[in-house]
Amino acid sequence: MSEYGPTSSTTCSPAQNRRSQSSSSTTSTTSSTTESQPRPLKPLTPSQRAFLSSALRVNQAGELAATLIYTAQTPPIVAREPHLGPLMRHMYDQEAGHLTTFNQLIAKHRVRPTALYPLWSVLATGLGWSTAVLGREAAMACTEAVETEIGGHYNAQIRQLLEMVAEWEADGYAVGSEFTDLIDTLRRIRDEELEHLDHAINHDAKKAQPYWLLTSAIRAGCRGAIWVSEKV
Ligand SMILES: [Fe+2]
Ligand SMILES: [Fe+2]
């Protein structure tokens, strides 16, 4: 995660900077020059690094699962309702884009992928196939349940990152563009997940039988998978 933190040359605090500046600035001209110097970045704490690593790991695992769910759902759904082909393709393409993003991020920051990759792959494929065999309503209820949990999951991550940003800014530190880019990426992906949720509801997710049991079980499974993937 070193890329999110500052280089060693920028690790002095703003207070230290101000002290060194005030000792050498004796005129108003010099003072205005020093005030325009860029603010330093604050090094990540061990717990912030651990949070970012686990966030990237769980996001990559979740997006892999999403691509596998749509891959398994699409043939049975489209065989019965060919008009849903473009929608299934659109949602798959967006999930594949999310997966590419997190594959690149975990490689760049040398984050270990989840050790339960094979297990999540089997479960996601099974979930996608079994809900699609039940019919369009069940497949859409699956998407509704998954995206409800994932939307909330991304929102929680965004909130935590914004709290880090607010803290750094309050202490007089700069916020690196790589960090703000990550927040923007999470917001874009969150919005696309919520778009999938809308598609699911518009395609009769709530008519699935038994709706409550299906969505409750899938949501509980998602929460469990998120919890485990953050750690393992
Ligand atoms: Fe996604
Ligand atoms: Fe999604």
165 and 81 belong to one structural domain = yes
Q: Is residue 96 part of a domain?
A: yes
Q: Which residues of the chain have pLDDT under 70?
A: 1-36
106 and 159 belong to one structural domain = yes
Q: Is residue 1 part of a domain?
A: no
Closest ligand to 95 CA?
1
Q: Is residue 189 part of a domain?
A: yes
pLDDT computed for residue 17 by the predictor: 43
Distances in Å between the Cα of 149 and the Cα atoms of 83, 132, 217 are: 27, 20, 12
CA 12 to CA 202: how far, in whole Å?
A: 53
Domain count, the chain: 2
19 and 53 belong to one structural domain = no
Q: Is residue 50 part of a domain?
A: yes
pLDDT computed for residue 130 by the predictor: 94
pTM score of the predicted model: 0.81
Q: Is residue 206 part of a domain?
A: yes
Say how many Å lie between the CA of residue 164 and the centre of ligand 2. 26
16 and 78 belong to one structural domain = no
Closest ligand to 63 CA?
1
pLDDT computed for residue 38 by the predictor: 80
pLDDT computed for residue 6 by the predictor: 40
Q: Letter for the amino acid at 50?
A: A
Say how many Å lie between the CA of residue 102 and the centre of ligand 1. 10
128 and 54 belong to one structural domain = yes
pLDDT computed for residue 4 by the predictor: 57
pLDDT computed for residue 12 by the predictor: 41
Residue 147 in marked binding region? yes
The answer for residues whose C-beta is within 8 angstroms of residue 221's C-beta and 6 or more apart is: 123, 127
180 and 70 belong to one structural domain = yes
Give the position of tokens 């038994």: 210
Residue 90 in marked binding region? no
In terms of residue numbers, what domain contains 191?
Answer: 42-231
18 and 83 belong to one structural domain = no
201 and 121 belong to one structural domain = yes
Q: Is residue 55 part of a domain?
A: yes
179 and 132 belong to one structural domain = yes
170 and 189 belong to one structural domain = yes
77 and 31 belong to one structural domain = no
Q: Is residue 3 part of a domain?
A: no
Give the position of tokens 């933190």: 5
CB atoms closer than 10 angstroms to residue 160: 13
pLDDT computed for residue 44 by the predictor: 86
pLDDT computed for residue 7 by the predictor: 36
34 and 139 belong to one structural domain = no
Main-chain dihedrals φ then ψ at residue 40, nearest 5 degrees = -75, 160
Say how many Å lie between the CA of residue 66 and the centre of ligand 1. 6
CA 22 to CA 28: how far, in whole Å?
A: 11
Q: Is residue 4 part of a domain?
A: no
Closest ligand to 61 CA?
1
